[in-house]
Structure 1
Amino acid sequence: MKQFKSLWIALLLLCPGWLAAQTVSQTPHGIKFTVPDGSYTCEVQFYTPSIVRVVKYPQAQLPEKPSPAVVLTPEDTRFRVTDADASVVLRSKALCVTVDKRTATLQFADADGRMLLTENGAVTFRPIEEGVDKGYFRVRQAFRLDPDETIYGLGQLQNGKMSQRNQEKYLIQSNVEDFSPFFQSVKGYGLYWDNYSPTTFADNSQSTSFDSEVGLCADYYFLYGGNADGVVAGMRTLTGQAPMFPLWTYGYWQSKERYKSQDEMVGVVRKYRELGVPLDGIIQDWQYWGNNYLWNAMDFTNTQFPDPQRMLDEVHGLNAHMAISIWQSFGPATKPYRELAPKGLLYDFKTWPASGTESWPPNPEYPSGVRVYDAYSPEARDIYWKYLNEGIFKYGMDAWWMDSTEPDHLDFKPSDLDQKTYFGSFRQMRNAYPLYCVQGVYDHQRATTSDKRVFILTRSGYVGSQRYGANVWSGDIGSSWESLRNQVPAGLNFSLCGMPHWNNDIGGFFCGSYNKSWNDGFAPRNPLYQELYVRWLQFGTFTPMMRSHGADAPREIYQFGKKGEPVYDAIEKMIHLRYALLPYIYSTSWEVTHRQSTFMRALVMDFPDDRKVLDLNDEYMFGPAILVAPVLEAQYTPEKAVKVDEQSGWDRDNAGKAKDAVTATDFTQKKSTTLYLPSGATWYDFWTGETLKGGQDITRETTLDLIPLYVKAGSIVPFGPAVQYATEKPWDNLTLRIYPGADGSFTLYEDEFDNYNYEKGAYTEVPMTWDDSSRRLTIGARRGSYPGMLTKRQFTVRTPDGKEKTVTYTGKKVTVRL
C-alpha cells in the first residue's frame, strides 16, 4: 500500500497541470487544496472505498472538533487521482469524486459514472463576531438533487411525510421530534452532515441544504451503498453497530403515567399472570423518589416504595422484568445535584418540572430548582452512574427508561444555548445531547457486568445511539388518528438513518380528551378511544418494541373490558401473535446486529423499482417477510380531531373535549380498507393464505381484531409456542411456515438470550433454504454452539394450502419435500 501511494505521489508531481495549481497535494487518504482566492481549504478523504469525508475550513489548518457520532477511522483505501486543468478526479472501486479546483465544489458518481449527487455552489462561512461562539462560523452547504428524487431520514419527524423533499425544517432536539442531519436517496447514497448545532434543513426547487448555526468547518460524509440497505450498513459502519437486546425485550411491555406504589405495579404483573395474557416488561414511571425537590434522586425515597428489593424480587418471581424512569436533571435536594453543582456540571435554563409542587398549572412561587446535567462531561457521567448504580441497579433493575434525553427545555431563549458545557457552548453540541446520555449509562453498565444486556428506552436519539443499546420512542404524542398515522413514516425515516430500534406509546400519551362524563371520565370505556387504541396496538405489534403507555387513563388490557368482549379479545389476539413471532423477531434482531439489517423496512428498501412505493407512508415490511398495512382511519366511530402537544397535554382542562362521542358501538361489524401490494412479488394473505399478485391496489375486508398482513412468496417464517413470557418454553418444537412461489432463505438464531457471550461466539445459526421448483426445504447443519443449547428438536413444516410434515432435527442437514 505504501509503495502504491508513493507511485501516485510521483505521478502527480510529474503532472504539469497539478504543478500549475500549486495548491493541491495528496494526503494519506485523499487530497487537500486551497481555493485560488485563499478563502478556505478543502480536504477529501476516503474512509472506505464507499465512504468519503469532505471537510472545508477557512483556517490555516484542519481544526480539531468533537465528532461523537462517528466512530470510523480512515482505512487504507486504494484510489487513483487524475488531474485536469479545472478539476481533480478521485476514483476508488466504488466511487468517482470530481472536485472543481476553482470553487472546491464536488460531484459524486458511482464506479460506472452514474451521477449521484452534486454540490450546488460553494460553501459559505459567516463569521460570528460576538458572544460565546465568537471565532466560529455559521456554515452552509447546498446540494443539487434530481427533481423527482426521493430522500428519507432526518431522524424522527411528526410531519406524516415519507419522502422529506420540499420542506424547510429547523433541526433542534425536542420532545416528539428527534433530529439527525442525515438523509439517504432512492439513488442509493446517503449524506451525513457532521454538525451538532441547531441546523436548518431546506429543500426546494433551487437546492437542498444544511445551514448550521455554529461550526469551525463544513464537514460531511458521503456514503454509497447501492441501495437503502447498503446505505444503512454504511451508516452503521460510520457511527457504530447495534448490539443484541435480550429476548424478553421483544415481548409485551405494560406501563402508564404512573404506578403510585410498588404494590400497584407488582399487582399489574400478577393480574396479567392470572388472566393468562403474556407480559415480559413492566415500567415504573417518575416520582418513586417523592416530591419535585427530590426530582430524579435515583433512590426510592417515596414512602410508597418502601422495599425496592422486594419489589424487584416479586417482579422477577413472576417471570417478568422491570424498567424504571430516570431523567437527565436533578432536584436541588438530591445527592447527585449536591455533587454536580459545585463542579459546574449543571445547566441554568428552565426544565421540567417547573414547580416544586405537583399541582397544575405550575406554581411560580415555588420553583422546582431542577437543573439539567452536563452529559458531555465524562466526570458528570461518572457521577450519574455512581448514584444510579448505588440507588437502583444494585437491586437487579433490568432496563432503563431515560426520559427527557433531548432534554426538556421550557420557555426557550436563544441565550440559553450560551451555557458552558464540557465542549464549549451548549449551542455547539446541542443536538448530540441524547447521544451522550445513553453513552454514559451503556458504557458504565457494560463495565460493571456482562451478565445483563443493556436496554435503554430513550425519548430522544441521534445517529450513533444504536451502538449504546438504545431504543428510541416518539415522545409525548397526543392520542389521535392523525398522530397514529404520523407514527408510521416517523419510525420508517428514523430506521432509514441507521437506528433500528424504535417504538411509540401505544394509544398515544395524552388521551384525556376521550374522558367523558358519561364514561366516568375513563377513556378505555369510550368507544372512540377503544377503536383508536386497538388499531394503535396492532401497529405496535409490528414495531421493534411493543409497549403500551400513556397519561390520563390506565392502559392495561383489563381496563378495556373482559375476555369474550370484542375490544379485549382484539388486544389479547395481538399480544399472543407477538409472542408466536418471537423466533422470527429474535432472528431478525441478529440480522440487525450481525448483518446490519433493519426491523421496520420502508417499502423502498425491498421494492426500489416500484415507483408507487417511493413515497408510500402507510405500509412497510416488518423483517424480510411480513408486509404490514395497519388500519389508520376510524371505521366504527367518528374520527375526531385532537390537537394536543407535549406542553398543552399536561393542561388537564383539555379533558373531556372530545366531540361526537358515542356510548355504544357494534365492534362485530365487518369493514374494509384499501392497500397496495408492491410489484415484483407474489403475496399471501397472512390470515387466509389467499395468493395475490403484486403491483395492485386491493380492498381487504377487516374486523376490529384484524390488521391486514401479507407474506412475500419465498418466505420462511418460524412460529414459537404459546407462552406467558418469552423464555417460558424452549424452541424445541417450532412451526416453519413456508410460502411458495419463489426461492427463499431464513436463518434461525439462538443464544443465551441475556448476556454478551454471543460476542465471543456463543450462539447458533440454523440456515434454511426453500427451493421452489422442487418444493424442497433444506434445513442446513447447525453452525456454532453455546452452553445449554438445544441438541434435538422438531420442526413442523407447513404451507398455506395445508400440507404439513414434521421432522426431527439434531443439528445435521435435513431435507423436507412438500
Structure 2
Amino acid sequence: TGYTWNRDLFPDPKAFIAKLHQRNLKPALNLHPAEGIHDHEEPYAAMAKHMDIDPETKVPIPFSIADPHFTKAYFELLHHPQEVDGVDFWWMDWQQGTASGLVGLDPLWWLNHLHFYDLGRGGEKRPFIFSRWGGLGNHRYPIGFSGDTVVSWESLAFQPYFTATAANVNYGWWSHDIGGHMGGIEEPELYVRWVQYGVFSPILRLHCTNVAFHERRPWGYDAETDQLVSHAMRLRHAFIPYLYTMAWRNHTAHVPLIRAMYVENPHDEPAYHCPDQYWFGSELVAAPFISPADPDTRLSRQVVWLPKGDWFGFFDGLRHAGDGFQVVNGRLSDIPIFAKAGAIVPLAANANENGTVNPEHLEIHVFPGADNTFDLYEDDDLNAHSLTPIQQQWSQRSWTLAIGPAQGQLSHLPEKRSWIMHFHNVTSESVTVRQNDIVLGLLTDYDETTSTLQITVNDVKPTDSITITILTSDKNSQGQSLSKLNACQKCVQAFRMDTWVKDRLFKQLPAIVEHPSLLQEYGLLLTESQLRTLSEIIFEAGFLRTSTRSSENEMILMWNNHETENVTYRWHGYVDNLLQRTKFQQGPLPKFGVFEFGDESITYHKGNQTSAGRISVGGWLASVPERINPALIAGLNAIVQFEIDDETAHLIFDNGQATITNSAHLQPSVTITSQKADWLDLINGDLAPEELFLSGKLSISGDMNLLLQLVDVLQVTPQSLYRTGKWQLKVQYNDYLTINLD
C-alpha cells in the first residue's frame, strides 16, 4: 500500500469516494507507513522537497515518525489531501516492530496517538482510527484490528474469548477478519457461523484478500448461505441503536460492550469456565456457535451458563431458568442469544439502508420478569446528543412500559417517528396505550408461535411520552418455557437416521421424556451423539470437553442442574507418576464441576469455589490427622517427623489413631526434611512428590519400608489434584448410555 491510486482500477478516485458517500458509506484507506515514500508515489516530489531531498535523485524517504519535521509533512502532504478528497479515516496496518529511532517509543502507539488527534483537528470530525494493537493504553484510540486470521474453526473459536478478555484492559472495540483470509479451508458453514459471531462482536467487518477462493460476498456461495448471511448483516444494522447506546455507556461509564461473564458475576465460579460466551451490552448474553454441526444430529452444539434469574431466548422469547448450564442445539439459521429478565433492547426497524441516520422507525424489544431502565442515546454525529428514557415495571399481573420524552438537544431527532414495541413471552387480557395521557386506539399484532405482542404507535414527537399498560394472564405470569418435549422434538426432526425409526422415536418422545429408560430400546438405533443430545435435554446434565482458550490446555466441564442421581461419572487418574499410584473419583454428576488440565497437573473442583486458597505449612500439618482414613492405620505404630525449615512436628500413629504434635521427637521412625518454599509448592499442588525427591529438594531418612506403607495413608498433595498422563472419565445416563473419555 502507498499514497497513489491505481488509475486503471480507480480512474477518478474523488468521484468514486463521492459515490460511496451518496450511499452513506465512509471509506478508509489501509496504510503500511514503515515502507517510507518512494519515487513512484504521486506526493513524492513535495515530500522530498520538504525533507531537503532532490526529487531527481529518486532517493526513498525513510519513515521517521519520531522526527517532528517528517511528521508534519507526513500528515500535511500525504494524508490531508486525501481527506480533502473524501477519505474519512485511516487503517494503521503496522507490522514492523517497535523500532522508532527514539529509545522507548513504540511507533505504533505513537502513530495511533497522532492519527487519532489529527483526524479530530478543527472539531469537524470525531477522532477515530483503525489500527493493530498498540499496547496498554491504546483503548483510548479505537478501533482495533486483531491481525491476519487463518481460515479455520479454531480461529473462530478463539475470537469470543479473545474479545471478551480484552475488556479486562478496557480494550473493547475489536475488529476481526470475519471469515479469515489466510489460507485454511473455505466452508460455507464456517463462513455463516463467523458472520453470525460478527453480528454480536464489537465491529462486523468482512475481510478478503487477492485470492479468488477467499469469497466474502454473501451471494458468492449457495442460496442458503446468501440468505443467512444477508439476514445476519441486516440484523447487525438493526442493532445500531443498541450498539450506539452501549458505545455511549462505554464512553461515560467505562463499561465495554463485550465482557467476560465473571465481570458481572465475580462470585460465581462457573462464570470463569465458560470462555465461549459473553455479555453483549447491558441486556444480552451471546454464545455464538463456533464449531461445525455434528454429522448425525445435523445440529451445532453450544453449552451456555446462565446466571441466577430468568432468561429468555432473544429470537423465540422462551424462558430459561438461570443458575445452571443450558445445552443449545441449533440449525444453521440459529444464533444463541439470551435476554436477561426485564431486558430492553432497541433496534432500527428498517435495516435495509446504509448509514447510521437516527431511524424514523424504532423497534423496542422488552422481556418480562423484572423492572428495568434503558436510556436510548442518539446524536448528530459530532456534539449535540439526546437521551430518551425507556422504563418498564413488571409484576405478576401487569406490565407497564413508558417511553420519553427525550432529554437534551433534540434537533438531530426525526420530527416524528414510529415506535414498534415487542412484548415477548406474554399473554395479555387487556392493553391500554397513552400518548401524553391521551388514550389511543390500538394498533396491535400477536404472534402465537412466540407469544409476542406487537404494539405500534405512530407520529410520536421527541417531546411526547408513551405509556403502555398490559394486564397479563396468571397462567403466563412467569413466561412460557421451552418444554423438554418440544426441545427433543426439534432435535429429532434434524437427526440423520432411518425415517421409519425416526417416526417411531418421535411418536414415543412424550413417554421417553417422562421415563428416560425407554431410550434403551434405541441403543442400537441411535448414535452416541444422538442419544447424548436427548439425554442432556431430559436430565439437564452433561459434560463438555473443550479448550480453556487461555492456553492450549483443555478442561472438562460437568453440570447437573437438578442434581439427579440418574447421571453418574467415574474418574480414574494418577496421583503419583513415580510410584504409579492412582485414585478413583465417582458419584452423581455434580451440579457444577470441572477438571482443568495444566502442564504438570490436573485439578478438580466443584461447587462455587475453586479451593480454600493456598494452604500454609502449619495449616497442612494441623489437618493431616483429619485426612487420614482410620482403616488404613489400624494396627500401625509409628512416628513420622516433618522438618520444614523452622517448623517441626511429629505425627504419631497409635493403633488406628493419629495425632500431631508441634515439636521434635527424639526417635522418629521416618524423618521428612524440606525447605518451606518447596514444601508449599508440594502441598499446594505446584510440584509432584517425585519431582521434589528427584531434584534433591526432599530428604527422607529412616524406615523406608514403613514409608512405602505410609504412601497410601498420607495425602500430601491436594485431594483434588491429579498428575498429567493417563486418565479416564466415564459418564453414564441411567443404564442406556455410557460415554468414555481418555
Q: TM-score range by the shorter chain?
A: 0.5 to 0.7
RMSD of aligned C-alpha atoms? 3.0
Query: 1 CA distance for matches of 2:59 and 2:286?
Result: 46
Q: 1:708 aligns with which of 317, 333, 336?
A: 336
Q: Does 1:784 align with 2:490?
A: no
Give how far 1:671 is off: 0.7
- 8 Å CA contact 2:177–2:205 kept in 1: the answer is yes
Matching residue of 1:718: 346
Query: 1 CA distance for matches of 2:126 and 2:238?
Result: 23
Query: 2 CA distance for matches of 1:626 and 1:420?
Result: 43
- 8 Å CA contact 1:723–1:729 kept in 2: the answer is no
1:14-53 correspondence runs (5 A): none
Q: Which amino acid aligns with 1:803?
A: L
Matching residue of 1:817: 469
Query: 1 CA distance for matches of 2:256 and 2:82?
Result: 32
Q: 1:693 aligns with which of 313, 316, 321?
A: 321
Matching residue of 1:445: 119
Q: Does 1:734 align with 2:362?
A: yes
Query: 2 CA distance for matches of 1:730 and 1:375?
Result: 39
Matching residue of 1:465: 138
Matching residue of 2:377: 749
Query: 2 CA distance for matches of 1:677 and 1:466?
Result: 29
- 8 Å CA contact 1:581–1:718 kept in 2: the answer is yes
1:796-807 correspondence runs (5 A): 796-801=420-425, 802-807=452-457
Matching residue of 1:605: 263
- 8 Å CA contact 2:377–2:386 kept in 1: the answer is yes
Q: Does 1:324 align with 2:32?
A: no
Q: Does 1:375 align with 2:27?
A: no
The 3 A distance-change label for structure 1 pair 771 and 302 is: same
Q: Secondary structure at the match of 1:547?
A: coil
Query: 2 CA distance for matches of 1:370 and 1:703?
Result: 55
| Higher relative contact order structure (alpha carbons within 8 Å, sequence separation ≥ 6) | 1
The 3 A distance-change label for structure 1 pair 345 and 378 is: farther
Larger Rg: 2
Query: 2 CA distance for matches of 1:772 and 1:691?
Result: 16
Q: Does 1:628 align with 2:278?
A: no
- 8 Å CA contact 1:385–1:440 kept in 2: the answer is no
Structure 2 unmatched runs, 5+? 426-451, 471-742
Q: For 1:659-684, what per-residue CA distance to the aligned partner results, in whole angstroms no more than 9, with x for missing partners?
A: xxxxxxx9xx8414132232223110
- 8 Å CA contact 2:361–2:419 kept in 1: the answer is yes
- 8 Å CA contact 1:381–1:440 kept in 2: the answer is no
Matching residue of 2:236: 578
> Across the two proteins, how many residue pairs are aligned to each other?
432
Q: Secondary structure at the match of 1:546?
A: coil
Matching residue of 1:393: 83
Give how far 1:372 is off: 6.6
Q: Secondary structure at the match of 2:18?
A: helix
- 8 Å CA contact 2:108–2:134 kept in 1: the answer is yes
Query: 2 CA distance for matches of 1:605 and 1:345?
Result: 54
Give how far 1:339 is off: 7.8
Q: 2:419 aligns with which of 777, 795, 798?
A: 795
- 8 Å CA contact 2:119–2:128 kept in 1: the answer is no
- 8 Å CA contact 1:476–1:508 kept in 2: the answer is yes
- 8 Å CA contact 1:463–1:498 kept in 2: the answer is no
The 3 A distance-change label for structure 1 pair 440 and 817 is: same
Q: Does 1:767 align with 2:389?
A: yes
Give how far 1:301 is off: 5.4
Matching residue of 1:150: none
Query: 1 CA distance for matches of 2:208 and 2:143?
Result: 17
Give how far 1:622 is off: 1.1
- 8 Å CA contact 1:531–1:636 kept in 2: the answer is no
Q: Does 1:408 align with 2:30?
A: no
- 8 Å CA contact 2:372–2:393 kept in 1: the answer is yes
The 3 A distance-change label for structure 1 pair 570 and 804 is: closer
Q: Secondary structure at the match of 1:705?
A: coil
- 8 Å CA contact 1:744–1:769 kept in 2: the answer is yes
Paired-residue identity, %: 26
Matching residue of 1:199: none
Give how far 1:789 is off: 2.2
Matching residue of 2:517: none
The 3 A distance-change label for structure 1 pair 727 and 305 is: closer
Query: 1 CA distance for matches of 2:204 and 2:230?
Result: 13
- 8 Å CA contact 2:392–2:402 kept in 1: the answer is yes
Q: TM-score, normalised by structure 2?
A: 0.54
The 3 A distance-change label for structure 1 pair 816 and 345 is: farther
- 8 Å CA contact 2:118–2:127 kept in 1: the answer is no
Q: Secondary structure at the match of 1:676?
A: strand
The 3 A distance-change label for structure 1 pair 711 and 420 is: closer
The 3 A distance-change label for structure 1 pair 791 and 340 is: closer
Matching residue of 2:192: 534
- 8 Å CA contact 2:37–2:62 kept in 1: the answer is no
Q: 1:429 aligns with which of 105, 116, 139?
A: 105
Q: 1:587 aligns with which of 239, 245, 250?
A: 245
Matching residue of 2:609: none
- 8 Å CA contact 1:676–1:695 kept in 2: the answer is no
Q: TM-score, normalised by structure 1?
A: 0.49
Query: 2 CA distance for matches of 1:581 and 1:631?
Result: 19
Structure 1 unmatched runs, 5+? 1-285, 287-295, 347-367, 410-416, 515-522, 524-528, 638-665
Query: 2 CA distance for matches of 1:793 and 1:627?
Result: 29
Query: 1 CA distance for matches of 2:284 and 2:263?
Result: 13
